[in-house]
Amino acid sequence: MREFHNRKKTFLDRLEREASQGRVDGDILPLLRLLNSHPSLYTTSSCSGRIMLAEVPWPSYSKGRGFRPVAKWHHPVSPRQVASAAAGLRHAWLMVRGAILHVAAADLKTARQLVQIARETGHKHSGIIAMGRGGVIVEMLGEERLDIPLKHPWGETSIEAAVDAANKTLALAKVRLYWLAARLEAQLFGIEAPTPQELGRAVREAARCISTTEDF
């Protein structure tokens, strides 16, 4: 367990350092801190979900050859923002990825519990990806994924339609992350889970965020 606790301290220090530098997504930071307060857990990396503009002729699942990220946002965006970022690009793809968390558990039982909670909240591609003295590493991966070609040799896609689809996909990812966080809080820390009405309000709030992205 010494190696586990040493690595936990290292990652906790890094998390707080990067948080102070604004390099941690604000909407996932409370969950990270809560998970790190558990004696048998620590987080190693995370993303709360993002929209990204990339320059690449054809992206593969692992980004693809010649992939160059141009801009990324962890919140809904406006068509004007995307058009400005894509100006001058020959090949441009608008991409959305759901939340991803890497968590180290001190034992296999706790790791399996994390995987079960993740899959039950729609993070269906979650699983154990590594085991070692530093713990059992669990990847919690949201299923949201969207790749839209904005500029390509055979034409262009409507930026307005692409951004609308991207914002809706990101909103779904954020709500799914909220659901995951609520279940983790309830099952690992005994915090009362949100009611269906509260989850409904979260969905409506996500929809409201989308409707306010027209004039950033």
Q: For residues 47 and 97, is the Cβ–Cβ distance under 8 A?
A: yes
Q: What is the spatial distance between Cα 98 and Cα 92, in angstroms, rounded to a whole number? A: 20
What pLDDT score was predicted for residue 156? 81
What pLDDT score was predicted for residue 214? 47
What pLDDT score was predicted for residue 153? 78
Q: Where are the domains of the chain?
A: 2-211
Q: What is the spatial distance between Cα 97 and Cα 118, in angstroms, rounded to a whole number? A: 16
What pLDDT score was predicted for residue 216? 46
pLDDT tens-place values along the chain, 216 residues long: 899 999 999 999 999 999 999 999 999 999 999 999 999 999 999 999 999 999 988 776 555 567 899 999 999 999 999 999 999 998 999 999 999 999 999 999 999 999 999 999 989 999 999 999 999 999 999 999 999 999 987 778 899 999 999 999 999 999 899 989 999 999 999 988 777 677 667 666 665 655 554 444
Residues 6+ apart with CB under 8 A from 147: 59, 93, 94, 95
Q: For residues 215 and 163, is the Cβ–Cβ distance under 8 A?
A: no
Q: For residues 142 and 157, is the Cβ–Cβ distance under 8 A?
A: no
Torsion angle defined by CA atoms of residues 79, 85, 91 and 96, in that order, rounded to the nearest 10 degrees: -60
Which CATH architecture best describes the domain 2-211? 2-Layer Sandwich (3.30)
Report CA-CA distances (Å) from 85 to 71, 82, 93, 210: 7, 5, 11, 19
Q: What is the pTM of this model?
A: 0.86
Report CA-CA distances (Å) from 81 to 37, 72, 130: 38, 11, 39
